[in-house]
Amino acid sequence: MDTANLIFNKDLIKRSFFPCDSPLRVSIKDNYFTSSAVLFSIIPYEHKPYDLILIHRADKGTRHRGEMSFPGGKFDPLLDKSLRDTVLRETEEEIGVPFKNVDILGCMDDFPTMTRFIITPFIGVIHKDQKLIRDEREVQEILKIPINFFIRKTNFREQAVDINGRKFPIFYFNYVDKTKNKTHTVWGATAYLISTFIERVYGFLMSDLGLERFKLEKIKQIKEYIKYKNRITSKF
């Protein structure tokens, strides 16, 4: 794809997704899952493709330690009135961007994960001059990765993993930070979000396998998904 087509276009992105409170958007609630929100974070520029802000999480916890993700986290009923509050609070905590400096353009559809979260992805724009400050307890590193890296098919990988007799798709990108000679693997729900965004905004299909992620009811039937994680990531 011509990089000129990847210059930030606010109207194009807004047209590609529903407002977060739209009844036409897929919204999922289930007591078996934990409600959470992430910010699909965009830094726009005038004369070059925009960046996505991703974080390399700290090596702690049991579910998503050490993974690459967008800023975000679990809904906290003591702190949040809505998932919008959640995503803005977590963004400020994790990368130091005040809520007033995030321009929310819309939301992607909710989707359940194999680790029993329901993720609401908010699409948000952050000014290029905004200082990013990582939470040292939760974030190892903040990365700005150009959208044209993700849209190159040569940088995209997928595999089909057998889980309880059915094929589950795993997407991933291996991003090399040449300044530090370090490879970051963006996979799972984060890679799925990026691929979905590219398909919706630019009509560019990333996956060749065409496998669908498991629906909520199917995930409920699966026990101890976490045991598959090492087998999956060892193939990246």
Domains delineated in the chain: 3-233 (3.90.79.10)
Phi, psi values for residue 120, rounded to 5°? -105, 110
Which tens digit of pLDDT belongs to each residue from 201-226?
999 999 999 999 999 998 888 866 55
Is the pLDDT at 25 greater than 80, yes or no? yes
User: Band of the pLDDT at 180, cuts 50, 70, 90?
Assistant: confident
Confidence (pTM): 0.93
Residue 47's pLDDT is 92
* Beta bridge partners of residue 146, listed in sequence order: 51
CA gap 76, 180 in Å, rounded: 36
Which two three-digit tokens encode residue 170?
């795993």
Q: What average pLDDT does the structure give for the chain?
A: 92
Residues 6+ apart with CB under 8 A from 14: 105, 106
Which tens digit of pLDDT belongs to each residue from 35-86?
999 999 999 999 999 999 999 999 765 455 679 999 999 999 999 999 999 9
The 10 Å Cβ neighbour count of residue 5 is 13
Which tens digit of pLDDT belongs to each residue from 127-159?
999 999 999 999 999 999 999 999 999 999 999
Report which secondary-structure segment, H or E, holds 141: strand 139-146
The 10 Å Cβ neighbour count of residue 169 is 18
For residue 219, give the amino acid letter. I
Q: Which residue has the tokens 């009923």?
A: 77
Which two three-digit tokens encode residue 68?
């690459």
Residue 229's pLDDT is 60
Residue 62's pLDDT is 46
